[in-house]
Structure formats: structure tokens, C-alpha cells
Amino acid sequence: QPGDTIRPILESMGCAVELIANGATYDLEVTGPEELRGIHIDMSDIGELSPTVAALAALATTESRLTGIAHLRGHETNRLEALTTEINRIGGKCTELPDGLHIEPAKLTGGVWHSYADHRMATAGAIIGLVVENLQVEDIQTTSKTFPGFENLWEEMVG
């Protein structure tokens, strides 16, 4: 499961991660550190996690390099270009590489995060919006493609 790869990624960025049994399912409890560390990672086998990891990297206090993801240019949107544009739009320092992204620490500010009608782009904006005040994710309801009801949960958390 590529999604399960998020646990060691979060741990390498300094988070405490616990998988908790909840009947027939599991809950993932993540506790962030005071300062999130950047990450250098080949994401070629887990490209769908790239927007999530890029969002976390934009919040980190050290640089990150996400590689092996040139193929993301051909998804719902050109995700590498979209992530670079949106991270930089809110004050970040993201550079598009031939096969990925280089993200440097920067103070992020509020504004509008465009989702490009792409559920993973909307989720990336939502992650950053948990930390950055006054960040509005345009078309947050596009997350319903993979997470029906996310829009309501999002409003409860930050609304």
C-alpha cells in the first residue's frame, strides 16, 4: 500500500506516529514536532503522496528534495507546476526540478490555494491551512473524489 508509506515519511520528518486499532479499522495518530524536518526522498513508487509530502515540506525548517516524480506532470493537472505555483504564491520557496521538487524553508502567509480541480492539490492546501492562518483552499469539495465528507470535517477543524 503506497498510502502506508506515509508513516515512515512522517517519522523521518520528526513526527511521532502511532497506528491505533479501532475495531475492524485503524486510526493513524500523528503528533508533530516543534519544528518539522525536511526530507530527501525518491517518490517514484509513491507519487500519489507527493502533494501531501510537498505540503509538509513547505512547512519544514530544513530543505526538502522530492525526486522520481516527473510523471506527475501528466495527472489531473501538472502537479509539479501546480505545487510550485501554489507554494510560491503563499511565500514559499519551491523550485521545479526535471524529476521533482526542491523546497526550501520560508515563512508562509495566507491567501488562496488553488486546487486545479485536483483532489490531491486540495488536500495539500488543507494540510498547509492547518498551520498557516487565513489560507483559503479554492474548490475544497474536489476532495470528495477520495474522501467523501472531507469538506465538512475541514470546516469543523478550521472553520
Catalytic site positions: 48
Helices (H) then strands (E): counts for the chain: 5, 8
Q: How far apart are CA 125 and CA 27, in angstroms?
A: 22
Exposure of 101 in the CB half-sphere (CA atoms within 13 A): 36
- Tell me the C-alpha distance between 126 and 124, whole Å: 5
Kind and range of the H or E element at 94? Answer: strand 93-97
How far apart (Å, rounded) are the C-alpha atoms in residues 44 and 5? 12
